[in-house]
Amino acid sequence: MKKHTIKIVCASSLILLLSTNAHAFAIKQPIGDLNTNLKIFGFTQLYARGSNNTLNNDTDSNIHFGAQNVRLGVNYSAGPIRSKLLMDFSKPTTDVSGVGLPNYIQDSFISYHHDYFLTAKFGLIKMPHGMGYTTAGWNLDTAERSFDKPLALERNVGLMLSGRNIGFGYNAKVNGLEMGHERAWKGFGYDVMYGNQAGRSGAVVGAKKGDSNSYAIRGMFDWTELLHTEISYGESKSAAGLGVLNDVDYKSLNIGLESHFGRSSIKFEHYDSENIQGVKGWDISTYSFTKTYLLTNTFEPSLKHIQGSSSKDGVKTTLGNTYLGFNYYIAPFDNKIDRNSKRNRNAHRIQLNYIISSGDTAGYSVEWNGLKGKLGDSWLAQYQYKF
């Protein structure tokens, strides 16, 4: 496995060297009556960070350097058939989470794109639960996801049925590979997925392939870039591991809203989650608000606040993390300000965030008893390269 991984890393490095710009490397070729398209893409995020106190020992008070999301992927289409493979070389090469594939495999699925109304996917896919989580990691407004990420059901092996752009005849460029709301459309959308236990979720432990199952369902309504709304619900059975005494199912509701208008964007997201890690009565709810404004063609101030409450063993705690910072786009392709152009700007980007903690932080007699979160003020600087 190590030799195989080294070969893949060498191949990806060669692709990076041969790439003359930040666009994905694509090969288009007709084969018989089908038009085929092979696209090779990837990104990585180099960071420096420091913190007074972060839950689960993510960092410490010293400056820590590293890389995350060291990823290389391939999309392939042939007529209505689609497939995707995405690998992350910063993840373990074994199936630590028990979903059915090694953790370094991020996506691995095939799909049949019948039309806007119906796309069927089978394989390792992001479960349709959590607006922020189903946003690509290279397209975030802040340098990291917040402490609501472990509440999402995350990636899993299973079957998903999806539809987009339903109801108003808007010519959206939906291609069947969407995992969230990557593209703007008018009308309704949906996702329904049934899979193995959601072992990659921070809210599920002890998962093993074949032990039990999970499901998620999501409904959406969009009106071009001006409005995206979604609501999703998911469950993972036996969230403490099959056979564990007093084990119960993990249940989670997510509501999301996003609006992009000109240089400005706002986002709101809410989780209401029960029975974290299969512990009855361990419940967490979060609310987050994000605001960005493209001040110049390269400089975008950003603000995000997430507020959480957690109740475990009858003890209730709260935590707030406020992200103050900016995005600096080193080499934007153009000066367009629509949502898709903003995605393109992220190819070469520097992000800097200072995070202010509030609530039951480090040093309190009863500290935050949620899954993750920053219990002291911290900072995070990141450089992202994407092609």
pLDDT band of 173, cuts 50, 70, 90: confident
pLDDT, residue 9, reads 46
* 55 pLDDT above the threshold of 70: no
pLDDT higher than threshold 90 for residue 352: yes
Domain enclosing residue 48, as ranges:
2-386
Residue 237's pLDDT is what? 94
In this prediction, residue 135 carries a pLDDT of: 93
Number of structural domains (the chain) is 1
Name the least confident of 32-41, 106-115, 252-261: 32-41
Confidence bin at 61 (pLDDT 50/70/90): low
What does the alpha-carbon distance between residue 375 and residue 343 come to, in Å, rounded to a whole number? 31
- Give me the pLDDT at residue 1, please: 47
Helix, strand and coil content of the chain, in percent to the nearest 5, comes to 10, 50, 40
So what's the pLDDT on residue 7? 47
Q: Is 80 exceeded by the pLDDT of residue 56?
A: no
DSSP 209-228: TTT-EEEEEEEEEEETBTEE
| pLDDT tier, 19 (very low <50, low <70, confident <90, very high otherwise) | very low
- Provide the mean pLDDT of the chain: 89
On the question of pLDDT at 255 being above 60, the answer is yes
Higher pLDDT residue, 20 or 330? 330
Q: Looking at residue 294, what is its pLDDT?
A: 94
Proportion of the chain above pLDDT 90, given as a percent = 70
Question: How sure is the predictor about 172, in pLDDT bands with cuts at 50, 70 and 90?
Answer: confident
For residues 57 and 324, which has the higher predicted lDDT (pLDDT)? 324
The predicted structure's pLDDT at residue 334: 79
Residue 78 DSSP SS3: strand
Cα separation, 188 vs 257, whole angstroms: 14
Look at residue 38 in the predicted model and tell me its pLDDT: 92
Q: What are 81's strand-pairing partners?
A: 78, 112
At residue 95, what are phi and psi to the nearest 5 degrees?
-85, 70
**Average pLDDT, stretch 38-51?**
92
pLDDT at 382 over 80: yes
**Alpha-carbon distance 256 to 191, whole Å?**
15
pLDDT at 107 over 60: yes
How far apart, in Å, are the Cα atoms of 208 and each of 133, 196, 240, 242, 377? 23, 8, 11, 8, 37
The mean per-residue pLDDT over the stretch 72-89 comes to: 94
* Cβ-Cβ contacts under 8 Å for 7 (sequence gap 6 or more): none
Annotate 8-51 with DSSP letters as a single string.
HHHHHHHHHHH--SSSPEEEEEEETTEEEEEEEEEEEEEEEEEE
Domain holding 252: CATH number? Answer: 2.40.160.10
Least confident of 26-35, 50-59, 204-213, 334-343: 50-59
- Tell me the average pLDDT across 151-177: 92
User: Greatest CA span in the chain, whole angstroms?
Assistant: 70
Does the structure show a pLDDT above 60 at 270? yes
Helices (H), the chain: 2-18, 339-345
